[in-house]
């Protein structure tokens, strides 16, 4: 006689999703929850130049 010890599929999926959510939350909390240096500020023109790619001087050919 064989006893089926597996969970139903919907319960297995729920358990796996809960474990994944817990791991993602732990990773977020460890690495992304707060900036390392709160006192450091980047000037707005420098940030715009970096993200938008607007160079203040023409590129040499």
Q: Please give the full DSSP string across the chain, using - where no structure is assigned.
A: -----PPPHHHHHHHHHHHHHHHHHHHHHHHTSS-S-TT----HHHHHHHHH---SSPPP-
- % of the chain beyond a pLDDT of 70: 79
Decide if pLDDT at 55 tops 70: no
Buried b (16+ CB within 10 A) or exposed e, 23-44: eeeeeeeeeeeeeeeeeeeeee
pLDDT in tens, 34-50: 766 777 777 888 878 88
pLDDT at 56: 57
């Amino acid at each position: 006689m064989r006893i089926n010890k597996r969970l139903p599929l919907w319960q297995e999926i729920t358990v796996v999703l809960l474990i994944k959510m817990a791991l993602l939350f732990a990773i977020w909390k460890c690495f992304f929850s707060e900036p390392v240096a709160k006192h450091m500020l980047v000037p707005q023109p420098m940030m715009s130049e970096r993200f938008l790619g607007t160079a203040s001087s023409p590129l040499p050919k």
